[in-house]
Amino acid sequence: MPTTDVVVTGLGATTPLGGDVAATWDAMLAGRSGVSALTQEWAAQLPVRIAAQLAVEPSEKIDRVKMRRLDRSEAIALIAAHEAWADAGLVDAGLDTERLAVSIGSGIGGAQTLLAQDDILEASGPRKVSPHTVPMLMPNGPAAWVGLELGAKAGVHSVASACATGAEAISLGLDIIRSGRADVVVAGGTEAVVHQLPIAGFASMRAMSVRNDEPEKASRPWDKARDGFVLGEGAGIVVLERADHAIARGARIYARLAGAGITSDGYDIVQPHPEGLGATRAIAKALADAGVAKTDIVHVNAHATSTPVGDMAEIASLRAAVGDHPVLTGTKSMTGHLLGAAGAVESIATILAIRDGVIPPTINLDDPEDGLLDVAAHKARHLEIPAALNNSFGFGGHNVALIFTRP
Amino acid sequence: MTRDDIIAGLAEILEEVAGVNPDDVAEEKSFTDELDVDSLSMVEVVVAAEEKFGVKIPDNEVQNLKTVGDAVSYIESNA
């Protein structure tokens, strides 16, 4: 392994499937759905009354006083970052923090804080607005908090590219290490907007599933009966590290982050290009960047949100850029769509699939679309994976492809 | 209201807002140095204290309230 390579040495997550990486991964392999009915009072008036909510409330891991100054998206970023940091063996490792950077984004930011504080402003006046409001709602808040708690001094970065955010933040981490600006980057995404305004907004776009009576069946990528995505909340964080740095400290290496490809569609603010041209170019760029042959990509963790148009546009891209041979997973069938965290949590699933030689199932794929590639429907499948591709796309025409390989 | 009543009220606020142990709250304690109340939490303490004790604490007064005793005295003479 060339010493300039970038490797993954730590993983952390809190998702609708579990409060940490191990619980999330176990639930994924078992094909469990994290989607349930919303019981909040505000949900009653909405056309969409289902979501994939966190399996473990952040207040179980962060004390009450600290939670007062954290937006939910910040709290869960901290939980996942601390897990990844510990998993990488970096607690008390004496890392040079001037060589430590952070790259963590969110698609929407501190919307829950914004809405709650606006309610307070309207009801009680400006003096009652929390002085913590701005650091809670600012989109760089999650990255800033993680940087603060880990002492990162090589730069704290916040990507915002909608549903491609988590993957783009990881690709930025790759760039930072390759360019020599840091040895270690804590990278990923976070999102916590299970709230009536974001749901109403997505629902008004007709982008969401309205299968309110069957929450667990609502997220069904590539199934002919799919009717939109299911909103989820969660955070995923990875520790990226220059390979020689990781080797020198004897770190356990999960996988190599071999390359990334980023493009933009230049087509429409929300619709992907119907033939997936932007995505095709992103995948091709990632392959070239990684120096990986398309035939080596045996597994793809697809973006696959369960929207009628997007899922099949991605298939067209994969066919064009990689070919017909890879086996696909749509983990959003279980996690729902974690928006800014999706690409990060899905990167973790991709990395663990490489490590364990098993890919998670795509649940609810009862009646597959015609012309689909090979998908591990319903049940996990054992598969030797030398290299895997993780796709993420976002409103605004963002396309990000990441390639992970065995270390 | 006695000074002790005011201290007890402030201790309640400090526990709620900043997680300060009520046993640590005493007249001579400094909010920032000894009780570890950061600047944003201090704003919350002031707003909560105004409500609890029915006083107005103008922003230019807040900087003079370095210790719990300073706050007690201000509240005592302005409530």
Query: Cβ(A21)–Cβ(A11) under 8 Å?
Result: yes
Decide if A65 and B17 are in contact by the 8 Å CB cutoff. Answer: yes
Neighbours of A388 (CB within 10 A): 30
Provide the shortest C-alpha distance from residue B66 to chain A (in Å): 19
Strands (E), A267-334: 297-301, 327-329
Could you report the per-residue pLDDT of A120-129, keeping only the tens digit for each? 999 999 999 9
User: What is the average pLDDT across A381-391?
Assistant: 98
**Does residue A111 carry a pLDDT above 90?**
yes
**Nearest residue of A to residue B15, measured between CA atoms:** A65
Interface test with A, best of B39, B41, B50, B55 (most A CBs within 10 A): B41
What confidence score (pLDDT) does residue A86 get?
A: 98
**Residue A345: its H or E element:** helix A342-356
Query: Rounded CA gap, A210 and A287, in Å?
Result: 37
| A303-350 tens-digit pLDDT | 999 998 899 999 999 999 999 999 999 999 999 999 999 999 999 999
Task: Kindly list the residues from chain B whose CB atom is less than 8 angstroms away from the CB atom of residue A68.
Answer: 17
Q: pLDDT of A226-262, one tens digit each?
A: 999 999 999 999 999 999 999 999 999 999 999 999 9
Asked if residue A275 has pLDDT above 90, the reply is no
pLDDT at A3 over 80: no
pLDDT tens, residue by residue, A133-190: 999 999 999 999 999 999 999 999 999 999 999 999 999 999 999 999 999 999 999 9
Distance from CA of A127 to the nearest CA of B (A): 7
Cβ pairs bridging A and B (under 8 Å): 19
> What CATH superfamily classification does A6-248 receive?
Thiolase/Chalcone synthase (3.40.47.10)
Strands A234-242 and A184-191: antiparallel
- ipTM value: 0.91
Q: How confident is the model at residue B79 (pLDDT cuts 50, 70, 90)?
A: confident
**How much is the pTM?**
0.96
> How many angstroms away from the CA of B55 is the closest CA of chain A?
14
By three-state DSSP, how is residue A181 classified? coil
- Strands A297-301 vs A387-394: parallel, antiparallel or unpaired: parallel
The single residue of B5, B38, B59, B70 carrying the catalytic annotation is: B38
Mark yes or no for CB contact A130/B18 under 8 Å: no
* A68: nearest CA partner in chain B: B17
CATH topology of domain A259-405: Peroxisomal Thiolase; Chain A, domain 1 (3.40.47)
What backbone phi and psi angles, to 5 degrees, belong to A98?
A: -75, -10
Q: Which residues of B touch A65 (CB under 8 A)?
A: 17-19
Write the pLDDT tens digit of every residue in A45-55. Answer: 999 999 999 99
pLDDT given for residue A274 in this prediction: 83
Given A63, A65, A131, which is nearest B43 (Cβ)? Answer: A131
B57 neighbourhood in chain A, CB within 8 Å = none
**Exposure of A86 in the CB half-sphere (CA atoms within 13 A):** 9
What integer is the mean pLDDT of A368-387?
A: 97
Q: Which residues of A touch B17 (CB under 8 A)?
A: 65, 68
Domain boundaries along the sequence of chain B: 3-78
CB atoms within 10 A of CB A92: 7
Q: Mind telling me the catalytic residues of A?
A: 163
The verdict on whether B38 is a catalytic residue reads: yes
A132–B40 C-beta distance less than 8 A: yes
Pairing of strands A327-329, A398-405: unpaired
Chain center to CA of A169: 10
The answer to whether A65 contacts B47, with C-beta atoms less than 8 Å apart, is: no
For domain B3-78, the CATH class is mainly alpha
Instruction: Transcribe A142-154 into DSSP letters.
Output: HHHHHHHHHT--S
Instruction: Residue B19: list chain A partners with CB under 8 A.
Output: 63-66
**Which of B44, B51, B57 would best serve as a mutation to test chain A binding (most A beta carbons within 10 A)?**
B44
Give the mutation candidate from B47, B50, B59, B62 for the A interface (greatest A CB count, under 10 A): B47
At residue A2, does pLDDT exceed 90?
A: no
Interface of A with B (CB under 8 A): 63-66, 68-69, 127-128, 130-132, 135
Mind telling me how many Å the CA of A41 is from chain B's nearest CA? 27
Alpha helices in A110-153 (DSSP H): 111-124, 133-137, 141-150
Break chain A into its structural domains and give their ranges.
6-248, 259-405
Indicate whether A271 pLDDT > 90.
no
Shared fold status for A6-248 and A259-405 = yes
Sign of CA dihedral A172, A285, A276, A389: negative
Cα→Cα distances A4→A47, A97, A99, A117, Å: 51, 19, 15, 46
Structure tokens at A309: 């148009």
Q: Compute the distance between CA of residue A365 and CA of residue A363 in angstroms, rounded to an integer.
A: 6
Q: Indicate the residue of A66, A131, A135 with minimum beta-carbon distance to B44.
A: A131
The beta-carbon neighbor of A65 closest among B18, B43, B47 is: B18
Say if the Cβ atoms of B44 and A64 lie within 8 Å: no
Q: Which chain B residues have a beta carbon less than 8 Å from that of A141?
A: none
Write down the mean pLDDT value for chain A: 97
State residue A273's pLDDT score. 87
The answer to whether residues A370 and A147 touch, using CB atoms and an 8 Å cutoff, is no
- For residue A4, pLDDT beyond 80: no
- Residues of chain A in contact with residue B44, where contact means CB-CB under 8 angstroms, are 130-132
Residue A1 confidence class, pLDDT cut points 50, 70, 90: low
CB-based contact B40 A64, cutoff 8 Å: no
Is-contact A208 A48, C-beta < 8 A? Answer: yes
Q: What pLDDT digit, counting tens, does each position of B18-67 carry?
A: 999 999 999 999 999 999 999 999 999 999 999 999 999 998 999 999 99
| pLDDT for position A93 | 96
Decide if B19 and A127 are in contact by the 8 Å CB cutoff.
no
